[in-house]
Chains A and B, each alone.
Chain A
Amino acid sequence: MAEGQKKYEKPKNRKGTILRLGSYMIQYKYLVLLALGLTIGSNLLALVGPMLSGYAIDAIEPSAGKVDFARVFYYAGLMVVFYVVSSILSYILAVLMIHISRKVVYQMRKDVFTHLMELPVGYFDTHQTGDIISRISYDIDTVNTSLANDLIQILTTLITVVGAFAMMIVISPKLILIFVFTVPLSVILTKLITGKTRPLFRLRSRRLGELNGFVEEMISGQKTLKAYHQEENTINKFDGKNEEAVEAYYRAEYYGSVVGPTVNFVNNLSLALVSMFGALLFLAGQMRIGSISSFILYSRKFSGPINEAANIMSELQSALAAAERVFHMIDEPVEAADNENALELANVAGDVLLENVSFGYTKEQTIIKKLNLHAAPGKLVAIVGPTGAGKTTLINLLMRFYDVDDGKICVDNHGIRDVTRASLRRAYAMVLQDTWLFEGTVFENIAYGKQGATLEEVTAAAKAAKIHSYIKRLPQGYDTVLTDEGTNISKGQKQLLTIARAMLLDAPMLILDEATSNVDTRTEQQIQQAMRKLMEHKTCFVIAHRLSTIQNADVILVVNHGEIVEQGTHGELMEREGFYYQMYRAQFE
């Protein structure tokens, strides 16, 4: 697996990109073969058509009054049959290609998303959402359009070119020599131009991704922008990005569209040469005039599809550039795989041990320094300290969103690197400072963590979290559709919903990170009892600024600058009159 990935890691590797695209097609090899057959069939039929019309005209040939109508009708009838069959074939072919390309696109989108879900959270902290969306929608779309249209065109070109070439060799091997000159010329010119345009298409995709990233971020923060009257400034910034994007598009398109006329030019050139040399050969008595004209007819046949193919070169280029971006994302390293003999954590007692843990998001800045901590099963551990002291980071480590740089974290005496991530994370219920609702009904939002939760369970949880009466007042009660950005729900209400969500989970350990920071204190008090019940028999990690909420903790850790500066119960810490004592007093100043 790792080796297979490495093969493609080299970015901007065109062959690798094509191979990988091919590997998506290979899955449908029978359909692709069928399409190939249909292409050959419909092209051959298309060649038969002119032949039949030739026979029909032969039958007219005898001139006025002597036309052989029986034969004319016979061939006309055949023509109708062939044309109908050919059209049906090409329709089937088109539909087939649409099916294949949709399957490929479906698979690609699926692969990207599955991969996305496995990426470490750090990836999302450093990549614009809009750019990610742009890759999944626009880039894959571009690949797909090209698959559906261009492949057929290339196949058709190949078949016609080979056929026409064979016919021309039969007619005049000498005149073919002209193509020895012109064909390489068109190949070289095309290569030259595409070599130039490839980076342009890459830039085009990237700029569009950047523009989309910007749009997403600005529309998300629209309210803030309005509040600071930044509409004009943002529009100006957008104009800059927009100009970059359309300019990159223009340059790629313009240079890409040079290919078509250029190849056309080479074709015209060979036409001129053929007619000149053909004429000379005729004068030398080496060629009949009829042969010249049919040679030319075939060389026209030859140039038509080549022209078309040259025209789609730019589409192919943009498809490749887009595919590169998609594959680039698929190649982002995922969260390191679980150890081979990683345990499934089961029947977790909730004994958590941190030994000499050090961690920093970047190498320069260590957030947590040599932290030691032991939480016995069922204990309530409170973590307090000034903002930025590393409390939330500690949670990131417990849940293994990030791996520690140094030291070790154990749950029930298993190092957390030796257990599967899924089972580790399942062992925690978590209510975070940043709440999360997705577009869905209230019921779905609360039942999110527990599959198959009944309405009774959900209602019970909502009642315990004191959010039931609010829900009842909504137009459709538990079936009301909520959106995260909805205006009609406050942050505190969202927190209560997430608390209800956590209550439904039956996890042995619980993390509350400022879980009620936006809930008013009266409501907070009302849900205290339910919270206590929620915390019963569970190892709990509670981060809170309202020190009143953690006074009954079994152990309070006072963290400052990533280190534990004090440790003990509320009473002990108050007696010590240290850091905690000062923080506590500050509440009443």
Chain B
Amino acid sequence: MKKVLSKYLRPYYGRMLMGFVIKFIGTIMDLCLPWILAYMIDTVIPQSRRNDIFIWGFVMLVCSVLALTFNVIANRVASRVARDTTETIRHDLFEKVMWLSNAKTDAFTKPSLISRLTTDTYNVHQMLGRVQRLGVRAPILVIGGILVTLTLDPVLTLVLVSVMPVTTFVTYYFSRKSIPMYNALQRAVDQFVRLLREDIARIRVIKALSKTGYEEQKYDTLNKKVVTLERKADVTMAVVNPATNLFLNLGLVLVVLVGAYRVNQGSSEVGKILAFLTYFTIILNAMINISKMFVIISKAVASANRIMEVIEVSDEMLPKLCEKLAEDEAYIRFDHVTFSYQSTEAEPNLTDISFSLIKGETLGIIGATGSGKSTLAALLMRFYDIDQGNIYIEGEDIRTMPTGRLREKFGVVFQNDTIFEDSIAENVRMGRTLSEEDIKRAIGHAKAKEFVEEAGRGYDNHINIRGANLSGGQKQRILIARALAAQPDILILDDSSSALDYKTDAALRHELAEHFADTTKLIIAQRVSSILHADRIMVLEDGKMIGYGTHEELLECCEVYREIRDSQM
């Protein structure tokens, strides 16, 4: 929370100050009115000066207009500051999330990141606006009220002020107590978001298995949890308001009692006590507004902390100092690479992988489900940093390259790749500077031309959320077109022809051989036929290389490869 203030509000201190000054003037104008009124009743009216009545009436009118103008302007300034601050916070948070390493994303979890970006930034926005709008008037009224009562009777003022520490303590205590509760609430909201996302994405399965009742129950549990936590936090904060009210009113009773003694002694007058009571009402209302603000702030503090937690997480994939291998003839080289997703695991996910490829060569990777094929591709693109060994591209350790420069070399299709809700052309373009020609050519290479052109509006045809209006094979071909569109130096296809029929698959391989001869290719596949013609084939099992060579070599010396081949022929 402090960080939000110091980091994000600092640029607006000037504007906020201006806003406060304007609001201050507006509030003073507001407060002038009762003062003029008292003057009229006490002084002007008894003197029966008709003209003066009109003059003072007019002054009141002017004050009202000024109060309106200044308050509106001040609100505008406040809303602007809240807008700009929130925009920056949200931008920074999203930027951080976009650049967050996969390991950290896994740790925060996606649903949590989503709710931090949405509900948490919203809470902060709301707080910033409200506190600025309410936060000036109330303190002015309290301080002003106390100052005026001091001139009336300092002793009585001290009596009144003596209860303030108690109310302050109560407000502080309960706000402190509620912050962790709001924290817990936001965590429950994370779970809520997670369940909704899961259920929406898998609605077909839920319906097919008639599990709507079950999902409703699960949802109900979470719904109850969120509601209970909300209630707990709110009920805790509900004490503050009546308590403030009570203590101040008790202070008032004290004022009456002490006042009685002082009047009896002749050191005060009844009129003063009366006036005192009027000002007291103003102070009381202002104090209640201040305590309301604390409720809003407590809720936002929990959210602000969650936002800052992400923004400030140290997440650097440190670039290593340059360590170029002298004149490496290999384009890609893995040198004794070992890696685990979690250090707690007994067996590394990949153990001691070494191989090298010359530019334009094709590596086929085959192996049982879960043997580490996709992990290998993720490491080459540096989604995770390896534990041991080195990975070189053109003799450069990939950790010495900025990730942007590294990943520019790639065209990739993941196993569970994402189709965005956009046109076909935009899905292929992926924000890169590619011409229409490039995109059409890529779609042609990916053997997607026919169905794309058949579809209503061709390349501008809109793809539904998660590619729902495409078949599995169509989706894969769009993804392949995306990977090919920028003529990548390295192409990774991770099981990306699983939904293609053999004919299309074969045609695709043909295209790759013909038009992408300079591209170094990593092809992960289940079918031997997909990698049969690769220059090198790697056989993985439990994260270890148990075979490496050409198709013929492997048939001769790698039993597992032979078994795989036999299972498919």
The interface-forming segment of A22-30, A168-176, A221-229, A368-376 is A221-229
A19 is an interface residue with CB less than 8 A from chain B: no
Known: A137-B189, A275-B37, A490-B415. A57 touches B257 (CB 8 A): no
**CB distance B341 to A133 under 8 Å?**
no
Q: Is the CB of B41 within 8 A of A293?
A: yes
Q: Is B243 an interface residue (CB 8 A)?
A: yes
Given contacts A233-B431, A514-B499, contact A521 B567 (CB under 8 A): yes
A77 and chain B: residue at smallest CB distance: B253
Asked if B316 CB lies within 8 Å of chain A CBs, one says no
Supposing A490-B415, A521-B527 touch, asked if A387 and B473 sit within 8 A by C-beta, the answer is: yes
Tell whether A425 is near chain B: CB-to-CB under 8 Å: yes
Q: A223: which B residues are within 8 A, CB to CB?
A: 102, 383, 414, 418
Q: What is the chain B residue whose CB lies nearest that of A385?
A: B501
Interface residue from B46, B90, B113, B469 paired with A125 (Cβ < 8 Å): B469
The smallest beta-carbon distance between B203 and chain A, in angstroms, is 5
**B129 & A253 in contact (Cβ 8 Å cutoff):** yes
Cβ of A348 to closest chain B Cβ, rounded Å: 14
Q: A53-B252, A492-B369 are in contact. Are A269 and B64 (CB under 8 A)?
A: yes
Interface string of A113-151 (1 = CB under 8 A from B): 110111001001111111011101110010000001000
Q: How far is the CB of B382 from chain A (nearest CB, A)?
A: 10
- Of residues 439 through 481 on chain B, the ones whose CB sits less than 8 Å from some CB of chain A are 451, 455-456, 464-466, 468-474, 476-477
Q: Contact between B54 and A276 (Cβ–Cβ < 8 Å)? A: yes
Binary interface encoding of chain A residues 227-256 relative to chain B, with 1 for a CB under 8 A from any of its CBs, else 0:
111110111001100110011011001100
Q: Which of B12-20, B76-84, B392-400, B549-557 contacts A (4 or more CB under 8 A)?
A: B76-84
0/1 interface trace, chain B 197-209, chain A, CB 8 Å (1 if under): 1111111111111
Contact at A221–B418, with CB atoms within 8 Å?
yes
* Nearest opposing residue in chain A for B509, CB measure: A589
Given A275-B60, A276-B54: A388 in contact with B196 (beta carbons within 8 A)? no
Q: Tell yes or no: B513 within 8 A of A by CB.
A: no
Complex alpha-carbon distance, A132 and B564, angstroms? 45
In the complex, the answer to whether A272 meets B60 with C-beta atoms within 8 Å is yes
Query: Does B212 contact A117, Cβ atoms closer than 8 Å?
Result: yes
Interface residue ranges of B539-568 to A (CB < 8 Å): 560, 563-564, 567-568
In the complex, B311 has a CB within 8 A of chain A: no
In the bound complex, residues from chain A placing their C-beta under 8 Å from that of B246 are: 83-84, 87
The answer, yes or no, to whether B390 is at the interface (CB within 8 Å) is no
How many Å from the CB of B23 to the closest CB on chain A?
10
Q: How far is the CA of A449 from the CA of B499 in the complex (A)?
A: 26
The answer to whether B451 touches A582 (Cβ under 8 A) is no
Instruction: Say whether B204 contacts A401, CB under 8 Å.
Output: yes
Are B499 and A136 in touch, CB under 8 angstroms? Answer: no
Nearest chain A residue, comparing its CB with the CB of B26: A261
B119 close to A (CB within 8 Å): yes
Residues of B within 8 A of A235 (CB): 91, 94-95, 98
B543: min CB distance to chain A, Å: 12
Contact mask for chain B residues 270-314; partner A; CB cutoff 8 A; 1 contact, 0 none: 100110010000000100000000000000000000000000000
Asked whether, in the complex, the Cβ of A387 is within 8 Å of the Cβ of B500, the reply is yes
CB contact under 8 A between A79 and B256, given known A249-B83, A272-B64: yes
Q: Which residue of B lies closest to A78 (CB)?
A: B253
In the assembled complex, the Cα of A434 lies from the Cα of B408 at a distance in Å of: 29
Q: Is the CB of A95 within 8 A of B430?
A: no
A321 to chain B, nearest CB (A): 14
Interface residues of A in 81-125 (CB under 8 A from B): 83-84, 86-88, 90-91, 94-95, 98-99, 102, 105-106, 109-110, 113-114, 116-118, 121, 124-125
- A292:B369 contact, CB within 8 angstroms: no
B410:A250 contact, CB within 8 angstroms: no
Contact A220 B418 (CB under 8 A): yes
Q: Which residue of B lies closest to A511 (CB)?
A: B208
A212 to B264, CA, bound (A): 67
Select from chain A the residue with minimum beta-carbon distance to B192.
A137
> In this assembly, does A512 line the interface, its C-beta being within 8 Å of a C-beta of chain B?
no
Query: What residues of chain B lie closer than 8 Å to A124, measured between beta carbons?
Result: 200, 203, 465, 468
In the assembled complex, which residues on chain A have CB atoms less than 8 Å from the CB atom of B216?
110, 113-114, 117
Question: Is A271's beta carbon under 8 Å from chain B?
Answer: yes
Do A49 and B208 touch (CB < 8 A)? no
Complex interface: chain A residues within 8 A of B256 (CB): 53, 56-57, 60, 72, 75-76, 79
Q: Does B68 contact A (CB under 8 A)?
A: yes
Query: With an 8 A cutoff between CB atoms, is B231 at the interface?
Result: yes
Does B329 sit at the interface, judged by CB under 8 A?
no
Q: State whether A521 touches B568 (Cβ < 8 A).
A: yes
Instruction: Tell whether B187 is near chain A: CB-to-CB under 8 Å.
Output: no
The answer, among A102, A126, A233, A386, for a CB contact under 8 Å with B230, is A102
Which stretch of A10-18, A405-413, A531-539, A543-551 is in the interface?
A543-551
Chain B nearest CB, measured from A294 CB (Å): 11
> Chain B contacts of A514 at CB under 8 A?
472, 498-499
Quick one: which of A94, A393, A490 contacts B241, CB cutoff 8 A? A94
Partner of B224, one of A106, A226, A283: A106
Query: Residue on A with the closest CB to B254?
Result: A76
B161 at the interface (CB under 8 A from A): no
CA A233 – CA B257 in complex, angstroms?
A: 70
Cα(A493)–Cα(B270), bound, Å? 86
Whole-angstrom CA separation of A500 from B410 in the bound complex: 36
Complex: A245 Cα to B196 Cα, angstroms: 23
Cα-based distance from A399 to B118 in the complex (angstroms): 36
Contact call B86/A276, Cβ cutoff below 8 A: no
Instruction: Indicate the size class of the contact surface on chain A.
Output: 35 or more
| Complex: A331 Cα to B124 Cα, angstroms | 31
Q: Is B2 an interface residue (CB 8 A)?
A: no
Give the CA-CA distance A48 to B72 in the complex, in Å. 36
Complex Cα gap A90–B202 (Å): 47
B526 touches A132 (CB 8 A): no
Contact B473 A132 (CB under 8 A): no
- Per the 8 Å Cβ criterion, residues 39-90 of B in contact with A are 40-41, 44-46, 48, 50, 53-54, 56-57, 60-61, 63-65, 67-68, 71-72, 75-76, 79-80, 82-84, 86-87, 90
Q: Which residues of B contact A521 (CB under 8 A)?
A: 526-528, 564, 567-568
Q: When the two chains form their complex, are residues A129 and B90 in contact, meaning their CB atoms are under 8 A apart?
A: no
B97 cross-chain contacts in A, Cβ below 8 A = 219, 222
Do A432 and B418 touch across chains, with their CB atoms under 8 A apart? Answer: no
Q: Mask for B369-413, Cβ within 8 A of A = 1, else 0?
A: 110011000000101000000000000000000011001101010
Q: Are B564 and A522 in contact (CB under 8 A)?
A: yes
Instruction: Decide yes or no whether A454 CB sits under 8 A from chain B.
Output: no
Answer yes or no: B239 CB below 8 A from chain A CBs.
Answer: yes
Asked if A484 is at the interface (CB within 8 A of a chain B CB), the reply is: yes
B381 touches A102 (CB 8 A): no
Give the shortest distance, in Å, between A326 (CB) and chain B (any CB): 14
Contact partner of A234 among B76, B98, B194, B223, CB < 8 A?
Answer: B98
Beta-carbon contact of A296 and B208 below 8 Å: no
Which residues in chain B, 102-126, are within 8 Å of chain A measured between CB atoms? 102, 105-106, 109-110, 113-115, 117-119, 122, 125
Residues of B with C-beta under 8 A to A249: 83, 86, 125
Asked if B3 is at the interface (CB within 8 A of a chain A CB), the reply is: no
User: What 1/0 flags go to A207-226 for Cβ under 8 Å of B?
Assistant: 01001100111111111111
**B26, B209, B345: most-surrounded residue (chain A CB, <10 A):** B209
With a cutoff of 8 Å between Cβ atoms, the chain A residues found around residue B209 in the complex are 425-426, 430, 448-449, 505
Q: Which of A61-69, A350-358, A566-574 contacts B (4 or more CB under 8 A)?
A: A61-69
Measured in the bound complex, the distance between the Cα atoms of B215 and A216 in whole Å is 21
Q: Find the B residue at minimum CB distance from A65.
A: B264
Judged by a CB distance under 8 angstroms, whether A5 is at the interface is no
Given contacts A249-B125, A470-B370, A545-B502, contact A422 B242 (CB under 8 A): no
24 A-B pairs in the complex with CB atoms less than 8 angstroms apart: A87-B245, A95-B235, A117-B203, A130-B118, A138-B122, A141-B119, A220-B197, A226-B383, A231-B95, A242-B90, A283-B45, A283-B50, A296-B41, A362-B456, A384-B501, A385-B501, A387-B504, A426-B210, A475-B345, A492-B370, A520-B366, A520-B564, A521-B567, A523-B369
Q: Which 7 A-B residue pairings sit nearest by Cβ, starting from the closest?
A: A387-B473, A492-B369, A221-B418, A125-B468, A268-B64, A272-B60, A64-B266
